[in-house]
Amino acid sequence: MHAENPILPGFHPDPSICRVGEDYFLATSSFEYFPGVPLFHSRNLVDWEPIGHALTRDDQLPLETADSSKGVFAPTLRHHDGTFYLITTNVSAGGHFVVTADDPRGEWSDPTWIDAPGIDPDLFWDDRGDGDPTVYVTYRGGPDGIEQAEVDLETGALGEPRQLCNRLEGDYTEAPHLYEIDGTYYLLVAEGGTHTKHMVSVARADDPTGPFESHPDNPVLSHRNVSGMFNPIQATGHGDLVQAHDGSWWLVFLGIRKHGGHPGWHHLGRETFLAPVEWNEGWPVVNGGEPVELDLEVDLDVETASPSPEPSADLEADSRWETRDPFAGDELGPEWNYRHNPERDRYELADGTGALVLHGSPATLEDEQPTFVGRRQQHFDCLARTRLAFDPDPDVDVDEEAGLTVLYDDSHHYDLGVVRRGDDGERRAIVRQRVGDIEEITAETALPDGPVDLVCEATTETYRFALESAVDSAEPERETLTTAPTKYLATEVAGGFTGVYVGLYATGHGEPCETPARFESFEYRSTESEAKAEGEMEATTE
């Protein structure tokens, strides 16, 4: 099967994968977003179906004190003896913890907390004995050090910690995963930091506690010396191995897709990629030792009678990740997230009408717990559109606002909002650009009565903000207000570990909103095939 990397586009870093029969399950980091740790299912390693989140309750995921790019870091997802285990770290509240489930699509357990330092915990069961297996938790315990201890998964109690390694090939040794393969124990780690020097290194031993021998040809995966001119995938690292049901081996790992000039920018976040693995003299070889490309061939023998996500008919458009008619049910779909734990009474799905109503809080997008709900931007070329019915009362002394935002974090976002402004209290649309400490209204225009369609059309380099008449038409009239560069919402500008969300918001700028913001529809779709066709047409005319 011909496919394309990334297999999970947009902000999906630190992937961890496990197999149960012919079914594959994958989890990624979520940081300050709620619910936490998105989960996916596949039958072929290429087409991934979102199946929910592991952390869906406030008592599992306290994020009140989580700054941007804090909260929940890298998970490890494993299946043992009929139970799914997920271990991760809330760096803002409590540290390491484990949750379990019989079915990953259902409710996960309350956390069992583990009192160990560091980040990136991994679970491994050693079944060599006659009794219950010994369970090890392995984690980054300090600068460049990977530590390990026995753990009681019922209580979280730890045995005496030991250091397994202190660097293999580079600094920032982290993200350990431990495997037993044909009687040999392999330790997979990430090194070099999670940017352009990122890499995957490996060591092996005769015992899960070591001593570990480093692969003489480490790293087994890195694009640190691969120019972006020749390969758009950069910062590859933080991998997890899986053996497919046909015996083949694969590595899921994170990477970024940079664009622009030097030093380059990436605003979609760290994404999940896939590469084949072979074995040579007992060592893994990723992608034949060559850099990983966007094009990918995956051929697994899958029983077609078993349930599976439908393969994409058009991999460029990648309709699996599009959102249409998202407010028809009694709950939001798995693509939607809040920032921090939401005040749930501020979000109302209007039963039977297909609308989402936001009751804006005093908090703005710069504050904790804003009234915001969004989904990841997963394509460079895409369009987001929402129909908003929002008519702030000019006689109320509240600075009410609601609209559409593209948001990287609390100090890097662009907002297309509806407000009342001026001495006459005229209803207007505004575009606000917030980059660090600088905030400016860059466009505004008067609005007619009634609902309005707010539109953000993205390319690799720009966001274009526009209004459309809220009239059902095959070709509605569109009024462009302004454009803004994508690079100011990139990690290279904003810092952090997340990626851009496209979202809906409402705020009273210090006071509760009295006017509900009624979002009557929302659409997110890829326009990459349209952009490609337009580029080919321009090249032909030239």
pLDDT for the residue 473: 60
Judge contact between 404 and 452, C-beta under 8 A: no
- Cα dihedral 439, 443, 449, 452, rounded to 10, equals -80
Instruction: Compute the distance between CA of residue 171 and CA of residue 143 in angstroms, rounded to an integer.
Output: 8
Q: What is the CA radius of gyration of the chain?
A: 24
pLDDT for the residue 471: 62
Give how far the C-alpha of residue 219 lies from the chain's centroid of Cα atoms, to the nearest Å.
25
Instruction: Compute the distance between CA of residue 255 and CA of residue 247 in angstroms, rounded to an integer.
Output: 25
Q: Is the pLDDT of residue 184 over 80?
A: yes
Q: Which H or E run contains 336? A: strand 336-339
Considering the chain, what percentage of its residues have pLDDT values greater than 70?
A: 93
Judge contact between 403 and 389, C-beta under 8 A: no
Q: Is the pLDDT of residue 270 over 60?
A: yes
- Closest by CA position to 351, among listed 327, 326, 323, 324: 327
Spell out the domains of the chain, with CATH numbers in brackets.
2-297 (2.115.10.20), 319-532 (2.60.120.200)
pLDDT for the residue 314: 40
Q: What is the pLDDT of residues 327-382, one digit of tens each?
A: 878 889 999 999 999 999 999 998 778 899 999 999 999 999 999 999 999 999 99
pLDDT for the residue 311: 45
pLDDT for the residue 397: 81
Summarize the confidence of residues 501-512 as an average pLDDT.
97
Q: Is the pLDDT of residue 273 over 60?
A: yes
pLDDT for the residue 539: 54
Instruction: Specify the higher pLDDT residue, 473 or 33.
Output: 33
pLDDT for the residue 398: 86
Q: Is the pLDDT of residue 423 over 90?
A: no
pLDDT for the residue 538: 57
Instruction: Specify the higher pLDDT residue, 402 or 532.
Output: 402
pLDDT for the residue 495: 96
CA angle 187, 191, 193 (to 5 degrees): 150
Of 139-143, 181-185, 394-398, 432-436, minimum mean pLDDT range: 394-398
Q: Which residues are catalytic?
A: 14, 174
Q: What is the pLDDT of residues 473-501, one digit of tens each?
A: 666 788 999 999 999 999 999 999 999 99
Length of the chain, please?
542
Judge contact between 286 and 260, C-beta under 8 A: no
Question: Which structure tokens are listed for 506?
Answer: 């409402």
Task: Name the pLDDT band for 509 (thresholds 50, 70, 90).
Answer: very high
- Closest by CA position to 103, among listed 119, 128, 84, 117: 84
Q: What is the pLDDT of residues 131-170, one digit of tens each?
A: 789 999 999 998 779 999 999 999 999 999 999 998 998 8
Question: Which structure tokens are listed for 114?
Answer: 């583990």
Q: Is the pLDDT of residue 52 over 60?
A: yes
Judge contact between 267 and 486, C-beta under 8 A: yes
Instruction: Compute the distance between CA of residue 328 and CA of residue 321 in angstroms, rounded to an integer.
Output: 18
Give the CA distances from residue 411 to residues 36, 62, 302, in Å, rounded to whole numbers and listed in that order.
Answer: 22, 22, 46
Instruction: Compute the distance between CA of residue 286 and CA of residue 83 in angstroms, rounded to an integer.
Output: 30
pLDDT for the residue 532: 67
Mean pLDDT of the chain: 92
Cα of first residue to Cα of last residue in the chain, in angstroms, is 35
Summarize the confidence of residues 295-302 as an average pLDDT.
86
Instruction: Compute the distance between CA of residue 447 and CA of residue 427 in angstroms, rounded to an integer.
Output: 6
CA angle 401, 500, 195 (to 5 degrees): 150
Q: Is the pLDDT of residue 318 over 90?
A: no
pLDDT for the residue 300: 86
Question: Which structure tokens are listed for 72?
Answer: 């929940």
Q: What is the pLDDT of residues 365-377, one digit of tens each?
A: 999 999 999 999 9
Task: Name the pLDDT band for 30 (thresholds 50, 70, 90).
Answer: very high
pLDDT for the residue 315: 38
pLDDT for the residue 313: 39
